[in-house]
Chain A
Amino acid sequence: MTPQMIFLMFFGGAAVWFGIVVFRTLSMVRSALALLFSQTAVGVMFLLMQAEFLGVLQIMMMATEMSVMAIFMVMFMMDPGGMGAMDMTHQKRLSLWAGGIGFVAALAVIWLADWGPANLQIPDATEQTAELGRELLGRSMFIFESAALMILTAMVAATMVAIHPSEGRKR
Chain B
Amino acid sequence: MTVLIVLVALAVGAYLVAVLESWAVHGRLEPARPAISALALLGRESLLARTPDRLFFEAGPVVLLLAGLLAVAVIPLAPGLIVTDLATGALFLNAALAYVLVALIMAGWGPNGAYAMIGGWRFLGQFVAYAMLIVMPITAVAMRAESLSTVDIVTSQSTLWNIAYQPLGFVLFVAAAMGLCWLPPLDLPTARGDLAGGIEAEYTGARLAVLRLARMVLIMALAGATVTFYLGGWLGPWLPAWAWSAIKIFFVAGLMVSVGRLVPRVREAQYLEISWKLGIPLALANIFLVGVITLVVPI
Give the interface of A toward B (CB within 8 A).
27, 29-30, 33, 36, 52-53, 56-57, 59-60, 63-64, 66-68, 70-71, 74, 81, 83, 124-126, 128-129
User: Which chain B residues lie closer than 8 Å to A53 at the CB level?
Assistant: 87-88, 91
User: Which chain A residues lie closer than 8 Å to B23 at the CB level?
Assistant: none
Number of interface residues of B (CB under 8 A): 27
Closest to B146 in A: A130
CA of A139 to CA of B102, assembled, Å: 35
Give the interface of B toward A (CB within 8 A).
51, 53, 55-56, 86-88, 91-92, 94-95, 98-99, 101-102, 105-106, 109, 112, 121, 124, 127-128, 131, 147-149
Complex contact A83–B98 (CB within 8 A): no
Complex contact A83–B127 (CB within 8 A): no
- A162 CB to nearest B CB, Å: 14
Of A56, A63, A129, which contacts B102 at CB under 8 A? Answer: A63
The 8 closest A-B pairs by CB, nearest first: A125-B87, A60-B95, A63-B98, A126-B87, A59-B95, A56-B95, A29-B109, A56-B88
Complex contact B98–A64 (CB within 8 A): yes
Complex contact A60–B88 (CB within 8 A): no
- A123 CB to nearest B CB, Å: 11
Closest to B110 in A: A29
CA of A70 to CA of B108, assembled, Å: 13
CA of A150 to CA of B17, assembled, Å: 46
Complex contact A52–B56 (CB within 8 A): no
Max chain A Cβ within 10 angstroms of own Cβ: one of B99, B127, B128, B149:
B99
Complex contact A83–B51 (CB within 8 A): yes
Chain A contact residues: helix, strand, loop or mixed: helix
Given contacts A52-B86, A57-B91, A125-B88, 12 further A-B contacts (CB under 8 A): A30-B56, A52-B88, A57-B95, A60-B91, A63-B95, A63-B102, A67-B127, A71-B124, A81-B53, A81-B112, A124-B87, A128-B87
- A85 CB to nearest B CB, Å: 13
User: Which chain A residues lie closer than 8 Å to B56 at the CB level?
Assistant: 29-30, 33
- B111 CB to nearest A CB, Å: 12
User: Which chain A residues lie closer than 8 Å to B127 at the CB level?
Assistant: 64, 67
CA of A32 to CA of B148, assembled, Å: 30
User: Which chain A residues lie closer than 8 Å to B88 at the CB level?
Assistant: 52-53, 56, 125, 129
9 A–B contacts from the bound complex (CB under 8 Å): A29-B53, A29-B105, A33-B102, A53-B87, A56-B88, A64-B98, A64-B127, A71-B124, A126-B87
Of B53, B91, B102, which contacts A36 at CB under 8 A? Answer: B102
User: Which chain A residues lie closer than 8 Å to B112 at the CB level?
Assistant: 81
Closest to A83 in B: B51
CA of A81 to CA of B149, assembled, Å: 42
User: Which chain B residues lie closer than 8 Å to A70 at the CB level?
Assistant: 105
